């Protein structure tokens, strides 16, 4: 099979290292469709905050979030009730994601550090 050059995914950046990522996955817009028949007892505020959290952070809505106080409990089957809106944890998480360098290979640990710092003040 012959391959055309434009069919092979290629990173043309020459500045890659183990410390800085040169190719990043990013999204510029998100479309979320809500079936109001399946929203249950969720309020408009809860739905809006849930959509913001899932859309802005590219989060798995079916993930297991344990006892973390988060709006992500809105549709899961856990015993943890959903809060009325974004919690301080949700706000700290979003702030940490958007306040860290996405190109850094240590972004995950930086996010954790920022969340911990936000609760220690």
Return the domain boundaries, the chain.
5-120
Say what the pLDDT of residue 68 is. Answer: 86
Say what the pLDDT of residue 76 is. Answer: 80
Say what the pLDDT of residue 16 is. Answer: 56
Say what the pLDDT of residue 23 is. Answer: 59
Token pair, residue 61, equals 């809505």
Say what the pLDDT of residue 9 is. Answer: 65
Radius of gyration of the chain (CA): 18
Q: What is the pLDDT along the chain (121 residues), one digit of tens a residue?
A: 555 556 666 656 555 555 555 555 666 777 888 888 888 888 999 999 998 888 888 788 788 888 888 999 898 876 777 899 999 999 999 999 888 887 777 888 988 999 999 888 7
Say what the pLDDT of residue 87 is. Answer: 95
Say what the pLDDT of residue 25 is. Answer: 63
Say what the pLDDT of residue 103 is. Answer: 75
Query: In sequence order, what DSSP letters do the residues of 54-94 get, joined into one string?
Result: HHHHT--TT---TT---GGGSSS-SSSPPPSS--HHHHHHH
């Amino acid at each position: 099979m012959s391959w055309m050059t434009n069919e092979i995914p290629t990173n043309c950046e020459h500045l890659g290292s183990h410390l800085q990522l040169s190719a990043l996955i990013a999204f510029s817009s998100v479309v979320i469709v809500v079936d109001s028949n399946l929203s249950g007892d969720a309020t408009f505020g809860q739905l809006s905050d849930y959509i913001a959290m899932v859309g802005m952070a590219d989060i798995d809505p079916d993930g297991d979030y344990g006892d973390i106080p988060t709006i992500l409990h809105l549709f899961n089957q856990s015993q943890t009730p959903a809060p009325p809106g974004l919690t301080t944890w949700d706000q700290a998480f979003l702030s940490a994601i958007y306040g860290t360098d996405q190109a850094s290979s240590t972004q995950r640990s930086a996010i954790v550090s920022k969340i911990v710092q936000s609760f220690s003040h």
